[in-house]
Structure 1
Amino acid sequence: MLRQCSDRAGTTVRAWEAGTGSLVLLRGPGLAGVEDGRPLHAVDGPREGRRTSVTFRATGTRDLSV
């Protein structure tokens, strides 16, 4: 289950069930306390089987005007 939280204590605002075969993409442009508009979230489970997590990281900005 994926939960959007209103605080770091984990108070749930909304929740979604991520069933077998689901893909959830979360935006994450900033770290280290930078305010970037990302909602707080928590991921529970899975109750059976396993969860696979994949992370893509950018190393900087590219000049897209070329």
Structure 2
Amino acid sequence: MHTGHDSPERPKDRCFDFPVGEPDSAVTEAVALGATVAEFQPQKNVRVMSAYAGHPFCLCFDQA
């Protein structure tokens, strides 16, 4: 967990990081479970998501 991303919508939010192997399938699965992709994406190897209740979390993957 870290102190999320400074975005205009949610400054200084806490964010859980989840390591994933394949970002596209992880995003698809998260959306199927009710999450949404955040508009603000600060890094190429991270997908910032919002849970159905609006809480942010990050899907992190290694670009190696």
Tell me the TM-score normalised to structure 1 length: 0.27
More strand by share: 2
Tell me the TM-score normalised to structure 2 length: 0.27
Higher Cα radius of gyration: 1
More helix by share: 2
